[in-house]
Amino acid sequence: MSAPRTPSGTAPGTSPGTERPADAPDTGPSPDADTAPGTERPAGTGTAPDTERPATAATVSATAVTKGSLRRVTREARPFLRARTGPMGRLSAWSLLEFGQTLIGGYAVAQALDRGFLDGAPAVGLLWLAVAALAVLPAALATRGVFAGLADLVEPLRDGLVRRAVTRGLGEALDGGPADSRSVSRVTHQSEIARDGWGGLVLSLRSFVFTAVGALAGMAVLSPRLLLVVLPPLLAGIALFAVTLAPMAVHQRAYLDADEAFAAHTGTTAGALTDIAAAGGSPQVRERAARLTDDQTRAARSLARWAAARIVALGLCGALPPILLLLTAPWLLDHGLTTGGLLGAFTYLTQSLAPAVHALLTVLGTAGGRLVVVLDRFTRPLSLPSPPAAHPRHGHALPEAPLTAELRSVSFAYGPAARPVVDGLDLGLRPGERLAVVGPSGSGKSTLAALLAGVLPPTRGEVRWLGRPAASPDGPEPTALRTLLPQQAYIFTATLRDNLRYLRPGATDREITDALAELGADRLAERVGGLDAPVGPARLSQGERQLLALVRAHLTTVPLLVLDEATSHLDPAAEARAEDALARRPRTLVVIAHRLASARRADRVLLMDGPATEYGTPDELLARSARYRDLAGHWAPDHRIPQPR
């Protein structure tokens, strides 16, 4: 029964999953040792909100989804474009040079044949070819000018999206929303997708407009009948492509959702490995990961199927017009088209129109679809989550049970061949009871604390909280039931208020002030500068850190609080005051005693000496336990539990 967990797993001291208890055998570093506090528990454990959208979102009406996205994106785009009429005007001016190069290129080839080589005047033909070659020079200059001016359109978009993502992420965090990987993905990944997609779309659209107009104008000059051959397949391909844009956008959205959900799940899982072990959520985490992987795969396959329709559209636009031109060549030649004009038309198609159409449709089908979806994610209204409820996630009340926590024939060993640290222990903890656990170092006290907290699963037997199995995935939230405070108190660099509200974000300043006074930490708060003062581990002694961690735990409302030598750096008077204050709340208090004075204050005492245990009130143990009398005989007000010889 650990704390309303620090997301690393227990109370904000350290995590039992990350630091081996003092009585545990040295089995090497824990795989959870790098678990960072402050991350969400994965959804598989039942604590993270189920925000992951499956790939079945593609079944939503393509028209409705795309219209809503386009409407929102277009509304946001208008002021952005109006503010950048200057850069767009410069791009258009440079693009006029490309229009001229396209128009001159095909026409010069036609004239080189008709008036030069086929007319017996090779010098004239070479002159026309030289004109076509020289037309490339201003077009090259235009390309340089276009790329130089593109940054004025692209970089402001990226900067604005990054600001939006950071503002949104901070707003959600400050309002108590979940911390996950999605804001990071928007800043580092999705903003770059939008930047590249917007830049590619601007270049391709600009090139298509000026190149296509130049090519079609050139063919109209050579023979208007050429347009009758070229325009129908071109328009048919563009129309087919336009039909696929809506469903492709939906499937692109589904793919990004699946990718984002998988990233969020991976991030929260990596940051909550101890929580998963504590809640017995490993099967649920594996199941969620497998489901998210399947969602990603389905979304990618659906997107690939719609990409096949884009290939058909590209074929209609790029490959079919030259074929039709060859098939209709006799008819065109019979109706006044010259041989040079026919070759000029091929030049327009193969060198200008087909590449421009191919580039535009490719960009629209890939970068354009991603651009709309990504921009839609940035422009969605900020919907901050409601504060977490104080009741179980299914809304049912905690079941009434006579025992806050119960161990039923619990045994635990740190390996199949290891001697049990706890062996067949039966223990019941009543509401409002104060239990002290005493014994020499290495006797299993910290292991017992981890078992009570659900951080360590028993080798045999069962741990129950409020009448329910601790490992049950259908029970109330484990973090709503217990707090475990380890010996190493965790204080992070932030204000004193933020540190103290870490386990209960909704605590008021009045509640914090009262808790500080009850535990005798009010003078410490004044010394550091009050609730708004920044604190960090380097500014505080170990005892001060422990005292603040105790105040943090005191603010919680969990029915079970376990202190695993969490007062070891306090003086005896401060320890007594803190324990008494914690016990006054309506909760069960378990103290892994660092001094035998904790046993004197307790309602009952559990004496551990390896697998052997004795249990009773302090007076009962004094009367019947020679080992307890031996420990108590060494007791003085500031005497600590003796170490084994």
Q: Quick check: is 37 in a domain?
A: no
Q: Residue 311 domain-assigned?
A: yes
Q: Is the pLDDT of residue 32 over 80?
A: no
Q: Does the structure show a pLDDT above 80 at 378?
A: no
**C-alpha triplet 166, 172, 178: angle, nearest 5°:** 115
pLDDT on residue 580: 93
pLDDT computed for residue 444 by the predictor = 87
CA angle (615, 445, 500) in 5-degree steps: 115
In a domain, 76, yes or no: no
Verify that 375 and 411 share a domain, yes or no. Answer: no
Shared-domain flag, residues 371 and 408: no
Same-domain check for residues 359 and 408: no
Q: Grade residue 443 by pLDDT with cuts at 50, 70 and 90.
A: confident
Which pLDDT tens digit goes with each residue over 35-71? 333 333 333 333 333 333 333 433 343 444 445 666 7
> Are 373 and 497 part of one and the same domain?
no
Of the listed ranges 28-37, 153-162, 472-481, the one predicted with least confidence: 28-37
Asked whether the predicted pLDDT for residue 613 surpasses 50, the reply is: yes
Q: How does pLDDT run across 91-146, given as a tens digit for each residue?
A: 888 878 778 888 888 898 989 898 888 888 999 989 998 988 888 887 777 777 78
- Is residue 626 included in any domain, yes or no? yes
pLDDT band at 280 (very low <50, low <70, confident <90, very high): low
Element (H, E) at 152: helix 136-174
The pLDDT confidence band at residue 490, using thresholds 50, 70 and 90, is: confident
| Residue 9 placed within a domain | no
Query: What pLDDT is stored for residue 127 in this prediction?
Result: 92
- Mean pLDDT of the chain, nearest integer: 77
Residue type, 39: T
Range of the domain at 170: 84-379
Helix (H) or strand (E) holding 633: helix 626-633
Q: Do 361 and 420 fall into the same domain?
A: no
- 495 and 353 assigned to the same domain: no
Enter the pTM of the model.
0.43
Mean pLDDT of 165-177: 63
Pairwise pLDDT comparison (528 vs 285), residue with the higher score: 528
Q: Is the pLDDT of residue 275 over 90?
A: no
Return the DSSP state at 350: I
DSSP code string of 66-131: HHHHHHHHHHHHHHHHHTTHHHHHHHHHHHHHHHHHHHHHHHHHHHIIIIIGGGT-HHHHHHHHHH
The larger pLDDT score, comparing residue 453 to residue 44, is at 453
More confident residue, 89 or 578: 578
Percent of the chain with pLDDT over 70: 75
303 plus 338 within the same structural domain? yes
Residue 629: the pLDDT is 84
Q: Are residues 324 and 455 in the same domain?
A: no
Q: Can you give the pLDDT at residue 133?
A: 85
pLDDT, tens digit, 9 for 90 and up, residues 174-226: 555 555 556 666 666 677 777 777 887 888 888 888 888 888 999 999 999 99
| Poorest-pLDDT segment among 107-111, 296-300, 338-342, 515-519 | 296-300
- For residues 525 and 420, membership in a common domain is answered with yes
Last residue of a domain, one of 346, 379, 412: 379
Tell me which of 379, 394, 424 is where a domain ends.
379
Residues in Cβ contact with 486 at an 8 Å cutoff, skipping those fewer than 6 apart: 10, 11, 13, 14, 15, 16, 19, 564, 565, 566
Co-location of 428 and 289 in the same domain:
no
pLDDT attached to residue 630: 82
Round to whole Å and give the CA distance between 420 and 412.
5
Final residue in a domain of this structure, among 344, 379, 414: 379
Q: Is the pLDDT of residue 158 over 50?
A: yes
Residue with more model confidence, 59 or 258: 258
Q: Which of 152-166, 213-227, 423-437, 594-608 has the lowest average pLDDT?
A: 152-166
Question: Within a domain: residue 25?
Answer: no
Average pLDDT over residues 64-84: 68
Does residue 429 share a domain with residue 484? yes
For residues 502 and 390, give the distance between their C-alpha atoms in angstroms, rounded to a whole number: 15
The DSSP result for 249-263, as a single string, is HHHHHHHHHHHHHHH
546 occurs within a structural domain:
yes
Helices (H), 519-610: 522-528, 542-554, 572-584, 597-601
Domains: count for the chain: 2
Identify which of 185-189, 325-329, 481-485, 627-631 has the greatest average pLDDT: 325-329
Q: Does residue 188 lie within any of the structural domains?
A: yes
CATH number of the domain to which 318 belongs: 1.20.1560.10
Q: What is the pLDDT of residue 69?
A: 61
Residues 368 and 488 in one domain: no
Q: What is the CATH number of the domain that holds 530?
A: 3.40.50.300
